[in-house]
A and B are shown apart, each in its own frame.
Chain A
Amino acid sequence: MAVTRIDCDIHPAVGGTRTTLLPYLSDHWKEQVASRAIDGLDLTSYPPSMPLSGRADWRPSNGTKPGSDLAMVQKGAFEQLGASHAILNVLYGAQAVFDAYMAADFCKAINDWIAAEWLSRDPRLRASIVVPMQDPDLAIEEIERRAGDVRFVSILVLAQGETLLGRRHFWPVYRLAEKYKLPLAIHAGTQYRQAPSSAGWPSHRYEYYFVEAQAFQAQILSLIYEGVFGKFPDLKVVLMESGVSWLPAFMWRANKTWRGVRVEVPWVEREPAAIIRDNFRVTMQPFDAPADTKSVEEIIDQIGSEEMFLFASDYPHWQFDGDDPIPPNLPKSIIDKMCVDNPLETFPRLSLAN
């Protein structure tokens, strides 16, 4: 199948723990989810009924969750939006529950379900490995379990977890990520271990969605300043649904601050912006830029890399209307690169599977 447009971020939905995942759970957890009535584990970040979680025309007419039906996803992501391939990123409460053993079994079940009922039914699909970051040891076990299946092309984590992602206890995850050429995909969303904003709890959904950019910024700084890229220079990190237009000012400030305080982190030997250009990638939906060509050009120019941008529709999330998922006013050179070359370079395992 010709690779013409790789959609790096679409979202299949887990119908329910006691339904969709049941065949894939261990016997212990089968019994537990039944006897304890554990089911509605959707992330608070993406309540299924919220308009953002599913565009109206991408919602199944029978009221089930947007993204839960393979045929609909195929129709939307491939036929309507024009992707030749797409990467499935499951956002579900397995990534957020406090019980790490429950998380591990649920994540394993999700990955088994994705492999059996999505990847095996459509060769255009790839997936991120869902991992229990609540406990890095268990996350490693799950990555090892999937490493041999090249249809899994990245490792999915949430933007807001229990601790910042640069901390040393996560490094074994990054060692495997580098070894198996699995980029770390940080997707918007939170485990709600602390307030979504660094200054406290926002009152409104809009504030939460907006301040997620702060979380992405904190994760970028953490990964750089803790020295992750000195230790794992080939690790790629993909920011998903992070927004894009805040990057220029952030990169400039990161450089400026590093000049004065780099003695805190002498292992960071290059300007943070240079590390960002080399090791970070960003999906282009939503693309939160002003609606004129000149502003878009300036933002791209200030980011200073054409390699960082990855095409994504964010299906079925409601980021745009109509059939064209390419943000307006992007230069043609960026569109060409972000649809094929950049994804293939960022997710090396995309080239390994048929």
Chain B
Amino acid sequence: MARHIVATTSEIPPGGNKVVDIAGRDIVVFHVNGEFFALLNRCPHEGAPLEKAACVARLTSPEPGVYERSRVGEMLRCPWHGWEFDMRNGQSWFDPNRVKIRSYPVAVERGDELQKGPYVAETFAVHVEDSYVIVEV
């Protein structure tokens, strides 16, 4: 596992995402509720690009007609067939143990900490005063 600097924190707005290529892998990094999540940018169903997924609430219901929303923005709804996935761990809503998106550990670190390494930042000049999103692949 190597640590890759993929973006400055200010580069991905809340509710937005950034697609990065890490060692040949298409990975999408989401920013929601103050946290960053990295997932393979490919729905396990038929390969839809998850950068285009809707970021929605986790929706449950105790009985018909009652809608309970939680963790707003932390669920992905695939743009092609509507399958839902938990951004935090990639698990599908309907079969969390068997159907999931590959997810990767993410950290946010300040430039001055990153100066110490080790990390991979092929395209980044790291500045002491900024914060960075690091994905471990």
With A258-B94, A263-B77 already in contact, the answer to whether A230 and B82 are too (CB < 8 A) is: no
A226 to B94, CA, bound (A): 18
A230 to B64, CA, bound (A): 8
Q: How many residues of B contact A (CB 8 A)?
A: 18
Find chain A residues with CB under 8 A from B83 CB.
Answer: 259-260
With A266-B59, A271-B94 already in contact, the answer to whether A261 and B82 are too (CB < 8 A) is: yes
> Quick check: A263 and B94 within 8 Å, CB to CB?
no
Interface centre among A168, A230, A259, A269 (most CB of B within 10 A): A259
With A266-B59, A271-B94 already in contact, the answer to whether A259 and B81 are too (CB < 8 A) is: yes
Q: Does A318 contact B (CB under 8 A)?
A: no
> Quick check: A263 and B59 within 8 Å, CB to CB?
yes
- Rounded to whole Å, the gap between the CB of A113 and the closest CB of chain B is 38
Find chain A residues with CB under 8 A from B66 CB.
Answer: 267
CB-CB contacts below 8 Å: B29-56 with A: 56
Set A226, A266, A269, A271: member contacting B67, Cβ < 8 A: A266
Q: Does A286 contact B (CB under 8 A)?
A: no
A262 to B66, CA, bound (A): 14
Q: Does B122 contact A (CB under 8 A)?
A: no
Set A230, A258, A261, A263: member contacting B63, Cβ < 8 A: A230
Q: Does A145 contact B (CB under 8 A)?
A: no
- Rounded to whole Å, the gap between the CB of B48 and the closest CB of chain A is 12
> Quick check: A260 and B82 within 8 Å, CB to CB?
yes
CB-CB contacts below 8 Å: B66-113 with A: 66-68, 77, 81-84, 92-94
Find chain B residues with CB under 8 A from A231 CB.
Answer: 63-64
> Quick check: B64 and A227 within 8 Å, CB to CB?
yes
Find chain A residues with CB under 8 A from B67 CB.
Answer: 266
Interface string of A99-135 (1 = CB under 8 A from B): 0000000000000000000000000000000000000
Find chain B residues with CB under 8 A from A230 CB.
Answer: 63-64
> Quick check: A263 and B84 within 8 Å, CB to CB?
yes
Find chain B residues with CB under 8 A from A262 CB.
Answer: 84, 93-94
Please give me the residue from chain B that is nearest to A171 by CB atom. Answer: B64
- Rounded to whole Å, the gap between the CB of A258 and the closest CB of chain B is 7
Set A168, A227, A260: member contacting B81, Cβ < 8 A: A260
- Rounded to whole Å, the gap between the CB of A168 and the closest CB of chain B is 8
Please give me the residue from chain B that is nearest to A228 by CB atom. Answer: B64
Find chain B residues with CB under 8 A from A226 CB.
Answer: 64
A259 to B45, CA, bound (A): 11
- Rounded to whole Å, the gap between the CB of B55 and the closest CB of chain A is 13
- Rounded to whole Å, the gap between the CB of B36 and the closest CB of chain A is 25
A266 to B61, CA, bound (A): 5
Find chain B residues with CB under 8 A from A260 CB.
Answer: 81-83
> Quick check: B94 and A267 within 8 Å, CB to CB?
no
Q: Does B60 contact A (CB under 8 A)?
A: yes
Please give me the residue from chain B that is nearest to A227 by CB atom. Answer: B64
Interface centre among B61, B63, B67, B84 (most CB of A within 10 A): B61
Interface string of A143-166 (1 = CB under 8 A from B): 000000000000000000000000
Interface centre among A168, A230, A260 (most CB of B within 10 A): A260
Find chain B residues with CB under 8 A from A168 CB.
Answer: 64
- Which residues of chain B have a CB within 8 Å of any CB of chain A? 56, 59-64, 66-68, 77, 81-84, 92-94
A–B complex contacts, Cβ < 8 Å, 6 sampled: A226-B64, A259-B83, A259-B92, A259-B94, A262-B84, A266-B67
In the A-B complex, list the 10 residue pairs whose CB atoms are closest, starting with the nearest: A227-B64, A260-B82, A266-B61, A267-B61, A260-B81, A266-B59, A259-B94, A267-B64, A259-B83, A263-B59
With A168-B64, A263-B77 already in contact, 6 other A-B pairs whose C-beta atoms are closer than 8 Å: A227-B64, A231-B63, A259-B82, A263-B59, A266-B60, A266-B67
